[in-house]
Structure 1
Amino acid sequence: MSKPLKQIHLAAHFPGVNNTTVWSDPNAGSHIEFSSFVHFARTAERAKFDFLFLAEGLRLREQGGRIHDLDVVGRPDTFTVLAALAAVTEHLGLTGTINSTFNEPYEVARQFASLDHLSGGRSAWNVVTSWDAFTGENFRRGGFLPQQERYSRAKEFLATANELFDSWHGDEILADQETGVFLRDAKAGAFVHTGQHFDIHGRFNVPRSPQGRPVIFQAGDSEEGREFAASSADAIFSRHATLEAGQAFYTDVKKRLARYRRRPGHLLILPAATFTLADTDAEAEELAKVVRRQQVSGATAIKHLEFVWNRDLSAYDPDGPLPEIDPDLGDDHISQGRAQVRMYRDPLATAREWRELAAANNWSIRDLVIETGSRQNFVGSPETIARTINELVQADASDGFILVPHITPTGLDAFADQVVPLLQEQGVFRTEYEGPTLRHQLGLAHPDDVRDERAAS
Structure 2
Amino acid sequence: MTKPLKQIHLAAHFPGVNNTTVWSDPEAGSHIEFSSFAHFARTAERAKFDFLFLAEGLRLREQGGKIYDLDVVGRPDTFTILAALAAVTDRLGLTGTINSTFNEPYEVARQFASLDHLSGGRSAWNVVTSWDAFTGENFRRGGFLPQDERYSRAKEFLTTATELFDSWHGDEIVADQETGVFLRDAKAGAFVHTGQHFDIHGQFNVPRSPQGRPVIFQAGDSEEGREFAASAADAIFSRYATLKDGQAFYTDVKNRLAKYGRGHRDLLILPAATFVLGDTDAEAEELAREVRRQQVSGATALKHLEFVWNRDLSSYDPEGPLPDIDPDVSENHISKGRAQVRMYRDPLAIAREWRELAAANNWSIRDLVINTGNRQTFVGSPETVARTINDYVQADASDGFILVPHITPTGLDTFADKVVPLLQEQGVFRTEYEGTTLRDHLGLAHPDHARGERAAS
**Fold shared, TM-score > 0.5 on shorter chain:** yes
Write the distance in 2 (CA, Å) between the matches of 1:194 and 1:64: 43
Q: Does structure 2 conserve the Cα–Cα contact (< 8 Å) formed by 1:78 and 1:96?
A: yes
Match of 1:140? 140
SS at match of 2:91: coil
Q: Does structure 1 conserve the Cα–Cα contact (< 8 Å) formed by 2:17 and 2:31?
A: no
CA-CA distance at 1:191 after TM superposition:
0.7
Q: Does structure 2 conserve the Cα–Cα contact (< 8 Å) formed by 1:306 and 1:334?
A: yes
1:180-212 deviation per Cα after TM superposition (whole angstroms, max 9, x unaligned): 4312x2111111111111111111000000011
Match of 1:182? 183
1:307-342 deviation per Cα after TM superposition (whole angstroms, max 9, x unaligned): 212222222222111111111222222234632222
CA-CA distance at 1:70 after TM superposition:
5.2
Q: Which amino acid aligns with 2:183?
A: F
CA-CA distance at 1:172 after TM superposition:
2.9
Say if 2:344 is the partner of 1:344. Answer: yes
Write the distance in 2 (CA, Å) between the matches of 1:195 and 1:179: 39
Match of 1:409? 409
Distance change >3 Å, CA 31–CA 176, structure 1 → 2: farther
Q: Does structure 1 conserve the Cα–Cα contact (< 8 Å) formed by 2:62 and 2:337?
A: no
Q: Which amino acid aligns with 1:123?
A: S
Write the distance in 2 (CA, Å) between the matches of 1:148 and 1:70: 33
Q: Does structure 2 conserve the Cα–Cα contact (< 8 Å) formed by 1:61 and 1:70?
A: no
Write the distance in 1 (CA, Å) between the matches of 2:396 and 2:238: 14
Which residues in structure 2 correspond to 1:393-408 (within 5 Å)?
393-408=393-408
Q: Which amino acid aligns with 1:387?
A: R
Write the distance in 1 (CA, Å) between the matches of 2:436 and 2:11: 17
Which residues in structure 2 correspond to 1:104-123 (within 5 Å)?
104-123=104-123
Q: Does structure 1 conserve the Cα–Cα contact (< 8 Å) formed by 2:164 and 2:189?
A: yes
CA-CA distance at 1:179 after TM superposition:
4.2
CA-CA distance at 1:144 after TM superposition:
4.2
SS at match of 1:193: strand
CA-CA distance at 1:345 after TM superposition:
2.1
Write the distance in 2 (CA, Å) between the matches of 1:97 and 1:300: 26
Match of 2:94? 94
Write the distance in 2 (CA, Å) between the matches of 1:335 and 1:227: 30
SS at match of 2:171: helix
Match of 2:390? 390
Write the distance in 2 (CA, Å) between the matches of 1:144 and 1:384: 48
Write the distance in 1 (CA, Å) between the matches of 2:270 and 2:121: 21
Say if 2:452 is the partner of 1:452. Answer: yes
Distance change >3 Å, CA 70–CA 154, structure 1 → 2: farther
1:337-395 deviation per Cα after TM superposition (whole angstroms, max 9, x unaligned): 63222212221111111000000111111111110111000000000000000000000
Write the distance in 2 (CA, Å) between the matches of 1:332 and 1:247: 37
Q: Which amino acid aligns with 1:364?
A: S
Q: Which amino acid aligns with 2:27?
A: N
Match of 1:20? 20
Write the distance in 2 (CA, Å) between the matches of 1:289 and 1:91: 36
1:206-259 deviation per Cα after TM superposition (whole angstroms, max 9, x unaligned): 000001110000011111111110001000011111100000000000000001
1:260-303 deviation per Cα after TM superposition (whole angstroms, max 9, x unaligned): 00000000000000000111111110110111111112222122
Write the distance in 1 (CA, Å) between the matches of 2:69 and 2:422: 36
Say if 2:320 is the partner of 1:320. Answer: yes
Say if 2:93 is the partner of 1:83. Answer: no
Unaligned segments of structure 2, at least 5 residues: none
Write the distance in 2 (CA, Å) between the matches of 1:7 and 1:188: 38
Greater displacement, 422-431 / 366-375: 366-375
1:381-411 deviation per Cα after TM superposition (whole angstroms, max 9, x unaligned): 0000000000000000000000000111100
Q: Which amino acid aligns with 1:78?
A: T
Write the distance in 2 (CA, Å) between the matches of 1:425 and 1:367: 40
Write the distance in 1 (CA, Å) between the matches of 2:108 and 2:384: 41
SS at match of 1:130: coil
Taking only the aligned residue pairs, the percentage that are identical comes to 87
SS at match of 1:171: coil
Q: Does structure 2 conserve the Cα–Cα contact (< 8 Å) formed by 1:130 and 1:144?
A: no
SS at match of 2:127: strand
Say if 2:200 is the partner of 1:191. Answer: no
Greater displacement, 328-337 / 367-376: 328-337
SS at match of 1:94: strand
CA-CA distance at 1:414 after TM superposition:
0.2
Q: Which amino acid aligns with 2:371?
A: E
Write the distance in 2 (CA, Å) between the matches of 1:380 and 1:157: 43
Q: Which amino acid aligns with 2:85?
A: L
TM-score for both structures, normalised by structure 1:
0.97
Q: Which amino acid aligns with 1:143?
A: G
Say if 2:127 is the partner of 1:127. Answer: yes
CA-CA distance at 1:21 after TM superposition:
1.0
Which residues in structure 2 correspond to 1:363-442 (within 5 Å)?
363-442=363-442
Q: Does structure 2 conserve the Cα–Cα contact (< 8 Å) formed by 1:131 and 1:337?
A: no
Q: Does structure 2 conserve the Cα–Cα contact (< 8 Å) formed by 1:13 and 1:403?
A: yes
Q: Which amino acid aligns with 1:122?
A: R
Q: Does structure 1 conserve the Cα–Cα contact (< 8 Å) formed by 2:98 and 2:126?
A: yes
Match of 1:330? 330
Match of 2:215? 215
Write the distance in 1 (CA, Å) between the matches of 2:216 and 2:159: 12
Aligned length: 456
Unaligned segments of structure 1, at least 5 residues: none
Q: Does structure 2 conserve the Cα–Cα contact (< 8 Å) formed by 1:68 and 1:300?
A: no
Q: Does structure 2 conserve the Cα–Cα contact (< 8 Å) formed by 1:17 and 1:57?
A: no
Q: Does structure 1 conserve the Cα–Cα contact (< 8 Å) formed by 2:171 and 2:188?
A: no
Match of 2:33? 33
Write the distance in 2 (CA, Å) between the matches of 1:320 and 1:455: 67
Match of 1:360? 360
SS at match of 1:411: coil
Distance change >3 Å, CA 175–CA 390, structure 1 → 2: farther
CA-CA distance at 1:67 after TM superposition:
1.6
CA-CA distance at 1:171 after TM superposition:
3.0
SS at match of 2:379: strand
Write the distance in 1 (CA, Å) between the matches of 2:70 and 2:123: 28
